[in-house]
Amino acid sequence: MLEFKVIELSDKPWIDSLLKISDFRGCEYCFANNMAWRRMHDTRITRFKDFYISCSFDGGIYFTFPAGGGDHAEVLGEMKRFAEANGSPLVIGSVTPDLFPVFKENFPEGSYEITCDEGDWDYVYNASDLAELKGKKYHGKRNHLKKLLDGEYSYEPLTEKDFDDCITYAVGTYNRSDAYDDRSKVCEQFAINTYFENFHALGLSGGVLRVGGNVAAFTIGERINSDTLGVHIEKAEASVEGAYPAINYLFARSASEGFSYINREEDLGIEGLRKAKRSYHPAFMIEKHTVIFK
């Protein structure tokens, strides 16, 4: 029977080695993201042979499709036995269309159903598009940036000298939001602290935008796979016009060398966020589905 544990920094070497085998582009397939957001859905992990398995225990049992290599029928069978032994049907998320044959080939027709929520789909952009904002389709973005970039600002890659200022800014934003009862906001603060406390050990990169010497925005990202940079956190001061597009552009310009794509994660079905993400013209979406066994 599978045995799960809370993810720790010491797990990074073996998890990274198995993630590398699959080379998935989804934002859930990178170590720092898994470690930082582990409290959000009571997520725990285990290893089965050469597969990395992540599972949420928040209100039920919800697996992420396993990363690694080997016999999918065997690992999915182990996951199914674990779920059923704990009174739950097997539910697996982050299943992209190219993985559908894994289920078709190993389970009887009608034994499961596939559902999806577009709010879970990741937005993936050409790195060069975000770093250059060239062409007619980005004309409005360039104009929006012009006022801020023509003024007195500074941008630098994140280093330790910036950590305290960024953490203080994030805490101030959280306090002003009056979101003490919002679990997602509380977990976001935990994630931000985790990123900064383990920045170098996690292999993260980031950037900080200052206006008038004060933090106006910061961002943190991580290599997801062989060709994709993931953006995990992006915080910006709403009162500073152009701060959000500026940190997006400046980080892409400074950190995307060697990457073909930038994954800016999902929109969670939030209309304003969806509109903003679509306005940057994604190269493609990572279509994530959920497989629910009957």
Do 191 and 225 belong together in one domain? yes
Q: Could you tell me if 142 and 216 lie in one domain? A: yes
Taking the whole predicted model, whether its pTM rises above 0.85 is answered as yes
126 and 49 housed in the same domain:
no
- Alpha carbon of 234 to those of 38, 82, 126, 132, 264: distances in Å? 19, 37, 18, 19, 10
**pLDDT one-digit tens code per residue, 76-121:** 999 999 999 999 999 999 999 999 999 999 999 999 999 999 999 9
Looking at the structure, tell me whether residues 92 and 126 fall in a common domain.
no
Whether 282 is in a domain gets the answer no
Which residue pairs, CB below 8 angstroms and at least 24 apart, start in 194-201?
194/35, 194/36, 195/32, 195/36, 195/220, 195/232, 195/233, 196/163, 196/166, 196/167, 198/9, 198/32, 198/35, 199/158, 199/160, 199/163, 201/9, 201/12
The pLDDT of residue 158 is 98
Regarding whether 136 and 101 lie in a shared domain, the answer is: no
Both 158 and 189 in one domain: the answer is yes
Q: Both 101 and 115 in a single domain?
A: yes
Hey, what are 33's tokens? 């993201």
Domain count, the chain: 2
Q: Are residues 40 and 55 in the same domain?
A: yes
* Segments forming the whole domain that contains residue 168: 122-265
CATH number at residue 135: 3.40.630.30
pLDDT recorded at residue 177: 82
pLDDT beyond 80 at 178: no
- Would residue 145 count as lying in a domain? yes
| pLDDT tens by residue, 216-274 | 999 999 999 999 999 999 999 999 999 999 999 999 999 999 999 999 999 999 999 99
Last residue within a domain, chosen from 120, 138, 154: 120
